[in-house]
Homo-oligomer: A and B are copies of this chain.
């Protein structure tokens, strides 16, 4: 490489998921040769996001506001609370149009080996909401993986103290799959035929 700065850029692009040395080089040359405006905009927005995106005080999702737009909305059903593992899960559920309640984002799942317990998932905040808000049904939409199921089970027990129905989207989510990659109709079906945990 005839330029240390371009070499640094190629290395920097490799922090992106799924981007190896070859794709990173292609990205660097493409932006510098053909789309400097797009590159400038990406640099600016990325800087802005890193500095200003934090977590919603109510649902823990990523947002630049103190409280995210969904939590702040008056047009969402406050009696329904959907628990998901990540902000990407909210995106896919919103795209399905199957749900008009509010969310709670764990930002992960229980994983004792990684030191991720109830505190790391913000479950005290979830309990506080179950205690104070008019929530009637808690839909636990963690991933149908071993960790996601264990997390759902833990949340179900935790919710027993409150007068709330606990359900889990059932039909259509492939076992071992990841919510983030599902199509809207599968997810719609899963929400429609959710079943109450006993």
Interface residues of A, Cβ cutoff 8 Å to B = 1-6, 8-9, 12-13, 15-18, 23, 25-33, 35-36, 38-50, 52-53, 56, 61-65, 68-71, 86-88, 90-91, 94, 107, 180
A125 to chain B, nearest CB (A): 17
A68, B15: Cβ atoms closer than 8 Å: no
Cβ–Cβ < 8 Å partners of A45 in chain B:
5, 8-9, 12
Which residue of chain B has the shortest Cβ distance to A17 in the bound complex? B30
Q: How far is the CA of A13 from the CA of B16 in the complex (A)?
A: 10
B3, A15: Cβ atoms closer than 8 Å: no
A29, B70: Cβ atoms closer than 8 Å: no
Give me 28 A-to-B residue pairs in the complex whose CB atoms sit less than 8 angstroms apart, sorted by A's number.
Answer: A2-B61, A2-B63, A2-B68, A2-B69, A2-B87, A3-B53, A3-B61, A3-B62, A3-B64, A5-B48, A5-B49, A6-B53, A6-B62, A6-B87, A15-B31, A15-B38, A16-B27, A16-B30, A16-B42, A18-B23, A26-B180, A29-B88, A31-B49, A39-B46, A42-B46, A43-B44, A43-B46, A47-B47
Cβ–Cβ < 8 Å partners of A15 in chain B:
31, 35, 38-39, 41-42
Which residue of chain B has the shortest Cβ distance to A36 in the bound complex? B50
A67 to chain B, nearest CB (A): 10
